[in-house]
Amino acid sequence: MINITLPDGSQRSYDKGINAYQVALSISEGLARNVLAAEINGEVWDASRAIQTDVNLKLLTWNDDKGKATFWHSSAHLMAEALEALYPGTKFGIGPAIETGFYYDVDFGDREFSSDEFKKIEEKIMELAKAKSEFIRKEISKSDAINYFQAKGDEYKLDLLESLTDGQITFYEQGNFTDLCRGPHIPNTGFVKAVKLMSVAGAYWRGNEKNKQLTRIYAVTFPKLSELTAYLELLEEAKKRDHRKLGKELELFTFSEKVGMGLPLWLPKGAMLRERLTQFLQKAQIKAGYEPVITPHIGHKNLYVTSGHYDKYGADSFQPIKTPQEGEEFFLKPMNCPHHCEIYKTKPRSYKDLPVRYAEFGTVYRYEQSGELHGLTRVRGFTQDDAHLFCRPDQVKEEFKKVIDLVLYVFGALGFENYTAQISLRDPENKTKYIGSDENWQLAEQSIIEAAAEKGLKTVVELGEAAFYGPKLDFMVKDAIGRKWQLGTIQVDYNLPERFELEYTGSDNQKHRPVMIHRAPFGSLERFVAVLIEHCAGNFPLWLSPDQYIILPISEKYADYAKNISNSLNNYDIRGLIDNRDEKIGKKIRDAEVKKIPFMLIVGEKESEEGLVSVRKHGEGDLGAMSMEAFAELIKKEITI
Ligand SMILES: [Zn+2]
Ligand SMILES: [Zn+2]
């Protein structure tokens, strides 16, 4: 008999050789039907693989990330089976699961391939899925494996085999298809109930452009047809919310090839929006005891040699700028931290002076490959809402609590209600790879865990995810359509204080190193605005909206009256514009809806005679006629910040 420990700590005894599926069946039939694979002592196994010793076991279903990954990777085998059936002679590279499904890199030989063939392949996949072919694991010797793929003429699998050791090689077979794979897989192809081929792209074998370019087919599968339908709807909705599309329609930002790739140009409306965000945070930060500082866009090479960035990233960053006379080397600033360390050093610090909090909306430049650039989320120049806190080890918890307050204030004001936090700690098995004393690490980790708990954050703790220089807390927000984004980081750093020899005098009159904390609630303004646009679909909270109203005169006769209204709303600090175009009122309303302007004020004969405005709210419709004072009141009420 062997003992199997389940995640809730309960233990069950079974005969040696039992598998995870049978364990599930002994619990409930419904559970067994949904088991895709199992985590055995932290490693994912086939649900059908025999267990010979006492183990910890977690059954994996579609609701577990690892279960989903197994499902999608198995679907890659299924797609390969379909491709081999439809296009005999196809050779196969690799077929991993990715975050949104899976792909397979294939060599069709001289055959032309396009997305026109997707439908045919999808049909074949579903036909093979219905056969419910089991995924059968076979241990195989290296020479037999080589013989198999030599006979098949698949040079890619032979290439993969070269780096594998005899005794560790497994084949998986389902239906008429055999693949070199270490597994694991789902029990049988029948679990796949829906498939969609998403796109096709070129991909060099092993990512090396000297090798042959293969065809990469991206696809996604689901255990229920309704899940595919919901997924496709989500993609449709995401397309409508794409910040690159809305950024253009709302005239917020643009890119110019002449200026350079990945360097956003903020248009007037976008610049004002960004300015409002900056002011909003600046105000909150000053209240929380931060002091603004300003540092240049470039820094001397020696600064980055000291910080360690030069050694680590120098070769992969924008190359240095040289002064013509002195031949000095400067780098575009990739981060603000080293500059802030130098500011800390400008005077002696006592334990009573700490914490010191320096904040800067600092623009930094990082080289990204052109293919990696994406709208405002991956750029080459961006502005961090950066701050560095220098404190004593015993102040870490209090500082974390204050930063968490600030982050939650920001999320609340911008309508992010759904968030979690990830706490990244040391790998307890491998403490030597981290810089800083064991005592300080323990204190900092404990401080972060307690601060998060006291602030009521929903957290997950990840061991071994900390940077070598300190533990951290990251916020993950879920947007309005359920997508997750990482925003806001609070990171402890023992490295830079060491490298810059930062000090304070303790109550014992001895010199000590302060703890440095990096933090950025937005992350960067660019990325944050992108996430915000996609979250609210361009319908910004009223306080942030570039224009809060637009006046729509029914004809040019009412242009003066419109001007009067706009002047008096100005006095109330309410901002907007007038649509004086010679267009029908219906068209003006439609255009204002596209621009997502929160309020439309229609003025014609009746309104001008009675001193009123007829108010329409974006997405809601007519609110009736009201006085200017009543409208101003309405706006003030909506602005809760
Ligand atoms: Zn596989
Ligand atoms: Zn920093």
Give the pLDDT band (50/70/90) at residue 74: very high
Count of alpha carbons within 13 angstroms of residue 22, beta-carbon side: 13
Q: Kindly give the distance from the C-alpha atom of residue 93 to the centroid of ligand 1, in angstroms, as a whole number.
A: 12
Q: Kindly give the distance from the C-alpha atom of residue 459 to the centroid of ligand 2, in angstroms, as a whole number.
A: 23
- Side chain identity at residue 79, one-letter code: M
Q: Kindly give the distance from the C-alpha atom of residue 463 to the centroid of ligand 2, in angstroms, as a whole number.
A: 22
In angstroms, the CA 594 to CA 589 distance is 9
The residue with greater pLDDT, 252 or 427, is 252
In angstroms, the CA 308 to CA 177 distance is 51
Q: How far is CA 602 from CA 336, 479, 586, 598, 612, in A?
A: 48, 34, 11, 13, 9
**Structural contact between residues 373 and 262, judged by C-beta atoms closer than 8 angstroms:** yes
Q: Which ligand is nearest to the CA of 71?
A: 1
Q: Which ligand is nearest to the CA of 341?
A: 2
**Structural contact between residues 341 and 351, judged by C-beta atoms closer than 8 angstroms:** no
Q: Per the residue annotation, which of 386, 474, 493, 547 is the catalytic one? A: 386
Q: Kindly give the distance from the C-alpha atom of residue 170 to the centroid of ligand 1, in angstroms, as a whole number.
A: 10
Query: For tokens 């954050």, what's the residue?
Result: 457
In angstroms, the CA 183 to CA 170 distance is 8
Q: Which ligand is nearest to the CA of 364?
A: 2
Interval 240-265 mean pLDDT: 96
Q: Per the residue annotation, which of 274, 472, 513, 519 is the catalytic one? A: 472
**What are 331's strand-pairing partners?**
299
Q: Kindly give the distance from the C-alpha atom of residue 73 to the centroid of ligand 1, in angstroms, as a whole number.
A: 6
Give the pLDDT band (50/70/90) at residue 440: confident
Interval 248-267 mean pLDDT: 96
The 10 Å CB-count burial string (b at 16+, else e) for 57-90 is: bbbbbbebebbbbbbbbbbbbbbbbbbbbeeeeb
499 among known catalytic residues: no
In angstroms, the CA 276 to CA 287 distance is 17
Q: Which ligand is nearest to the CA of 70?
A: 1
Q: Which ligand is nearest to the CA of 78?
A: 1
Query: For tokens 């309704």, what's the residue?
Result: 226
Q: Kindly give the distance from the C-alpha atom of residue 306 to the centroid of ligand 2, in angstroms, as a whole number.
A: 15
Question: pLDDT digit string (tens) for 563-595?
Answer: 999 999 999 899 999 999 999 999 999 999 999
In angstroms, the CA 26 to CA 75 distance is 27
Q: Which ligand is nearest to the CA of 472?
A: 2
Could you say which DSSP state residue 320 is in? Answer: P
pLDDT value for 19: 95
pLDDT value for 317: 87
In angstroms, the CA 170 to CA 182 distance is 6
Q: Kindly give the distance from the C-alpha atom of residue 187 to the centroid of ligand 1, in angstroms, as a whole number.
A: 12
Question: pLDDT digit string (tens) for 21-70?
Answer: 999 999 999 999 999 999 999 899 999 999 999 999 999 999 999 999 99
Q: Which ligand is nearest to the CA of 75?
A: 1
535 among known catalytic residues: no
Q: Kindly give the distance from the C-alpha atom of residue 183 to the centroid of ligand 1, in angstroms, as a whole number.
A: 5
What residues flank ion ligand 2 with Cβ within 5 A? Answer: 337, 518
Interval 415-426 mean pLDDT: 93
Q: CB under 8 Å to 218, separation ≥6 — which residues?
A: 98, 101, 102, 103, 197, 198, 199, 200, 201
366 among known catalytic residues: yes
Q: Kindly give the distance from the C-alpha atom of residue 277 to the centroid of ligand 2, in angstroms, as a whole number.
A: 20
Q: Kindly give the distance from the C-alpha atom of residue 297 to the centroid of ligand 2, in angstroms, as a whole number.
A: 15
Q: Which ligand is nearest to the CA of 307?
A: 2
Residue 641 above 60 pLDDT?
no
Residue 13 above 80 pLDDT?
yes
Give the pLDDT band (50/70/90) at residue 640: low
Give the pLDDT band (50/70/90) at residue 482: confident
Positions of E strands within 81-212: 91-92, 97-98, 101-107, 136-139, 170-174, 177-180, 194-204
Handedness of CA 96, 97, 99, 100 (dihedral sign): positive
Q: Per the residue annotation, which of 73, 243, 333, 384 is the catalytic one? A: 384
Q: Per the residue annotation, which of 68, 426, 518, 588 is the catalytic one? A: 518
Q: Which ligand is nearest to the CA of 183?
A: 1
What residues flank ion ligand 1 with Cβ within 5 A? Answer: 181
In angstroms, the CA 21 to CA 191 distance is 14
Q: Per the residue annotation, which of 337, 341, 391, 536 is the catalytic one? A: 337
**Structural contact between residues 540 and 243, judged by C-beta atoms closer than 8 angstroms:** no
Q: Per the residue annotation, which of 185, 380, 388, 402 is the catalytic one? A: 388
Could you say which DSSP state residue 551 is in? Answer: E
Could you say which DSSP state residue 467 is in? Answer: B
pLDDT value for 468: 87
Interval 166-190 mean pLDDT: 94
* Largest distance between two CA atoms of the chain: 94
442 among known catalytic residues: no
Q: Kindly give the distance from the C-alpha atom of residue 291 to the centroid of ligand 1, in angstroms, as a whole number.
A: 55
Tokens of 82: 């379909």
Q: Per the residue annotation, which of 73, 216, 309, 366 is the catalytic one? A: 366
Of the candidates 562, 634, 623, 529, the residue with the CA atom closest to the CA atom of residue 273: 529
77 among known catalytic residues: no
In angstroms, the CA 620 to CA 626 distance is 17
Q: Kindly give the distance from the C-alpha atom of residue 490 to the centroid of ligand 2, in angstroms, as a whole number.
A: 10
Q: What percentage of the chain has pLDDT greater than the value 70?
A: 100
Tokens of 46: 């086939």
Give the pLDDT band (50/70/90) at residue 480: confident
Question: pLDDT digit string (tens) for 519-570?
Answer: 999 999 999 999 999 999 999 999 999 999 999 999 999 999 999 999 999 9
pLDDT value for 314: 82
Q: Kindly give the distance from the C-alpha atom of residue 180 to the centroid of ligand 1, in angstroms, as a whole number.
A: 7
In angstroms, the CA 450 to CA 455 distance is 8
Q: Kindly give the distance from the C-alpha atom of residue 24 to the centroid of ligand 2, in angstroms, as a whole number.
A: 48
pLDDT value for 453: 95
Arithmetic mean of pLDDT over the chain: 94
**What is the separation of C-alpha 152 from the centre of its chain, rounded to a whole number of angstroms?**
41
Q: Kindly give the distance from the C-alpha atom of residue 563 to the centroid of ligand 2, in angstroms, as a whole number.
A: 48
pLDDT value for 562: 95
DSSP of 552-604? EESSGGGHHHHHHHHHHHHHTT--EEE--SS--HHHHHHHHHHTT-SEEEEE-
Give the pLDDT band (50/70/90) at residue 338: very high
Q: Kindly give the distance from the C-alpha atom of residue 190 to the centroid of ligand 2, in angstroms, as a whole number.
A: 50
